[in-house]
Structure 1
Amino acid sequence: MAKTWFAAAGTALLLTGCGLGGSTPPEADTSGEVKGAITFQTIQLSPTFDDYLHGLIAAFEKAHPGTKVEWTDIPSDAAARKVSADSVTGKLPDVMDLDTATLAPLGRRELVVDMAAAAKDVKDTYVPSAWNSFAYTGNSIAALPWYLNTPVLISNQGVLKKAGLAGQPAPVNYDELIDRSKQIAAKAKVAGFQPTETGFPSSLLTIGVPLVNEDSTEAKVNTPEAQKFVAALAELYQAGGIPQDSVSAKERSEIETFSDGRTAYLEAGGSRLKIVKQNSPAVYGEVAVGKPLGDAAERTWVVAHGLAVPKKSANPATALAFAKFVTSAENQLALGKQSSVVPSTLTSLNDAYFTSGDDTDLTVAARKIAAASLHDGKTIVKPAAVDAEYAKTLWSAVQPAIIGKAEPAAALAEAETKLTKILKDRRQ
């Protein structure tokens, strides 16, 4: 499931302007009888979760005689293109599993059922930051939250020992992470961490940069906090605290870099631990996990997948009922117990599976940290306008500053101008 998080989002910008214009369809009537057939589409959950989803569908059909759910699963790298094509031809599935970035064009154009109105009875069952992740226009909510990803701080204790940092408390913010990274580069000749295109907006959120204004009509990235952060990254890059080829050349996966022992820290979802273990058992043997960098400031990022229902669904009542069923606390807990994702329902997060267990097991420790961040209100919503296109534009502008070929303020001013144009163009 880990591959679905950013692979699908990476091509979400393809939907912008792809036949999604025109008048906003009227709100669908979801108050009818729950009966008849619907289609349900997920992203890269088969074959791993075939048994779970078949069981889910069977349980729904049993609870609602006369209903039929036809399930299809698509690869993550095909999601954006398929959603775009289906929206043009009017063949969107009745219930769609989408990440926030891939759903964004449909949400901005109000082509999906507003869950704030249609599902207001279940709003308070979800983590607030997860619910608000799908707020693309005004107070409308484009999807019911399903599964989430939120980070832990993964560290290579072997590298930290070489740098003389063994036994030291983990860094709690980016200032401390950058200071540690300088020491690691100087003493262990290893980089501290790797900033990336996809992760940079989340880093700015963590340090208090809003990214957009209140109505997402203007970018807000050229702030004193952002300038200080980019300047610090540039200094760290020159000191060897950031992998040289990760910024100046084609982006290299931060998971791959960490697995190769070339960085000491990695802030990522707990699902990434499995990848590190597969890539490098030796490095995994040195790994420890701790609270994310945004924990103290209550600005930990969260990435959400949700279930959306198109307004033009032929059977919106059954589609909404199924979306509620799939994202219920009971069914989310069952999914969480057989996967590496975190539920979006508060009741699920209260279960002992997410609150107790042996912390010497890295997976258990990561699961508990992530659940606590979500349940304790320490996660912050990344604005829905901050999608793959936004991230790519921002990263392209700041890269020259990080490698010392541009001033941070000038780079961020350029980014802000370009991003604001993108945001305004989306509203035309």
Structure 2
Amino acid sequence: MKKILFILIIIITVFSAGKTLSAEKTEIEFWTINLSPRFDEYFENLIENYERENPDINIIWEDNSFSAVKQKLLYRMAEDRSPDVVNLSPELMTSLVKEDLLYPVSNFDKDFSQDYYQGLWEVGVFNGKSYAFPWYLSTQIMMYNKEIFMFAGIEENDYPKNIDELKLTAEKIKENTGIYGFMPQIKIHHEFIKAGIELYTEKNGRIMPAFNTKKAVEILRWYQNLMQKDLIPADTLTGGYNLALERYINGELGILITGPQFIDKIKEESPYIYDVTAAAPLVLREGEKISAALMNVVIPKKSKNPEKAAEFAHYLTGAEAQQEFAEKANVLSSAKNAGGEDLKNKNGDLLKSAVREISKKQLKKAVDMTLKLPQADELIRVMDIEFGRAVKSKNTAEEAVNRMEKGWLDILNKGNETE
């Protein structure tokens, strides 16, 4: 009887010790955007390796849609149930910084910035404080259907090299095939920034619009002309990227302006279209910049374990982890030593290799185009509305830019009055 009792005591002791050890584990809740189920295996392996190296940590991973992540995050923070490590775009991050909802990464003793390309690290800097670990990025490239080019009487390698050639190519494709040449995804404030137009300036401590220039008017006229000549679809401004991608996959679009990460979707949905696709650098006006589509990782201010969260965020965005993810996702790494110099696809896929090579070369022209003003959402909305009216010929290009300026002044004056 004593022997049985002794065994029971040992079992209870071991069980209790196990529960104590389990209870001592720190849970880190980690959110991504639109990366499941495609990259489930990658994240499961990464988390397994991290937990093996850090047995006191338990990572809970959740993937969210881009459209829902901000509201869900705000809701969870309001309930004091904030996740600890969150994948956000610079635009989403900026709005949270303004509301003082993110933990400054620069508050930690370690200087994480040395491990990343400086220009990408600075995307997360506001008023001298760093709020983000830069993660993966890409630059837009041009993919085109060689078969449609052939039917339009265009040589396979005679793809457009500048903005004028892009318009001529669209005209040839439409005239000879009835298919639209391309369907641009237009953010008019990005178009201005790409062209080197300053959106605003500061005068006597007040923010003032600065984009009402001849160059801005010319950009609007160019798009007006495309729509008037029926060289781009009528639903270009409302259809969104997914519609452009769908049309390209269905052979209903000659050129797709896209990020390298979408190449696998083309291959999965239509192997034939993939086989007749070639890649080329993004068409730019002279001296134009390219938008760097960057994803960041942030730590919400209400994280219960910001130090542990920062350690995992640094591991996730470190050179080794980023190199593997970049190869799987056809994106580029923000980490310095991520081994991204050899961009040849390991499976010998020439198109994938070309896409990554082009995207990498374009990085020297890439800039972040996040509008870092408190009223950014309102200011961008005004520009989009007036641009839409101009493209539909409801206003001239000059009138549209003037109305954009007036809209900005109204919004900024309210902001200046409250400061």
Matches within 5 A, 1:389-408: 391-408=380-397
Distance apart, 1:213 and its partner CA: 4.2
Q: Larger Rg: 1 or 2?
A: 2
- 2-side partners of 1:407 and 1:63: how far apart? 62
Select 1:91's aligned residue among 77, 81, 97: 81
Equivalent in the alignment of 1:266: 256
Bigger mean CA deviation after superposition, 94-103 or 217-226: 217-226
5+ residue gaps, structure 1: 1-34
Aligned-pair distance for 1:231? Answer: 0.6
Query: Which residue identity lines up with residue 126 of structure 1 in the other structure?
Result: Y
For structure 2, the residue ranges without an aligned partner over 5 or more in a row are 1-24
Q: Higher helix proportion, which one? A: 2
| Structure 2 counterparts to residues 80-229 of structure 1, below 5 A | 80-116=70-106, 118=108, 121-135=111-125, 137-197=126-186, 199-213=187-201, 217-229=207-219
* Larger mean Cα displacement after TM superposition, 114-123 or 50-59: 114-123
Alignment of 1:274-353 (within 5 A): 274-294=264-284, 297=287, 299-348=289-338, 350-352=340-342
Alpha-carbon deviations, 1:155-211, whole Å to 9, x = none?
1222323333314543333333224323433444333322335x4443333332344
Partner Cα separation in structure 2 for residue 154 and residue 228 of structure 1: 26
State TM-score, norm by structure 1.
0.79
Q: State how far apart, in whole Å, the 1-side matches of 2:42 and 2:281 are.
A: 30
Give me the whole-angstrom Cα distance separating, in 2, the residues matched to 1:276 and 1:389: 35
Distance in 1 of aligned mates of 2:211 and 2:247: 27
Q: Which residue of 1 aligns with 2:358?
A: 369
- What is the CA–CA distance in structure 2 between the aligned matches of 1:392 and 1:284, rounded to whole Å? 36
Aligned amino acid, residue 234 of structure 2: Q
Q: Tell me, in whole angstroms, the C-alpha distance in 2 between the residues paired with 1:220 and 1:143.
A: 29
Q: Is 228-237 or 170-179 further displaced after alignment? A: 170-179
Q: TM-score, normalised by structure 2?
A: 0.80
Q: State how 1:33-44 maps to structure 2 within 5 Å.
A: 36-44=26-34
How far residue 297 of structure 1 moved from its aligned partner, in angstroms, is: 3.6
Query: Mean Cα displacement is larger for which, 285-294 or 143-152?
Result: 285-294
Letter in 2 for 1:208: G
Aligned mates of 1:425, 1:281 — CA distance in 2: 54
Offset, 1:301? 1.1
2: CA distance between counterparts of 1:274 and 1:50?
Answer: 16
C-alpha contact (below 8 Å) 1:295/1:378 kept by paired residues = no
| Alpha-carbon offset, residue 61 of structure 1 | 3.1
Tell me the amino acid that sits aligned with residue 165 of structure 2.
E
2:331 and 2:173 mapped to 1: Cα distance? Answer: 31
The change in CA–CA distance for 1:259 and 1:37 in structure 2 (over 3 A counts) is closer
Q: Would the aligned equivalents of 2:195 and 2:288 in 1 still touch at CA under 8 Å?
A: no
Q: Is the 8 A contact 1:94 1:313 kept in 2?
A: yes
RMSD: 3.2
Q: Is structure 2 residue 35 aligned with structure 1 residue 48?
A: no
Q: How far does residue 55 in structure 1 lie from its aligned partner after superposition? A: 2.6
SS of corresponding position for 1:347: coil
Inter-CA distance 325–75: structure 2 relative to 1 (3 Å threshold): same
Relative to 1, partners in 2 of residues 1:291 and 1:46: Cα closer, same or farther, differing over 3 Å?
A: same
Matched residue type, 1:104: T
Q: For residues 213 and 274 of structure 1, do their structure 2 counterparts lie closer, same or farther at Cα, with a shift above 3 Å needed?
A: farther
Contact 1:185 1:239 in 2 (8 A): no
What is the CA-CA distance between 1:362 and the residue it aligns to?
A: 1.5
Report percent identity of matched pairs: 25
Is 1:381 matched up with 2:394?
A: no
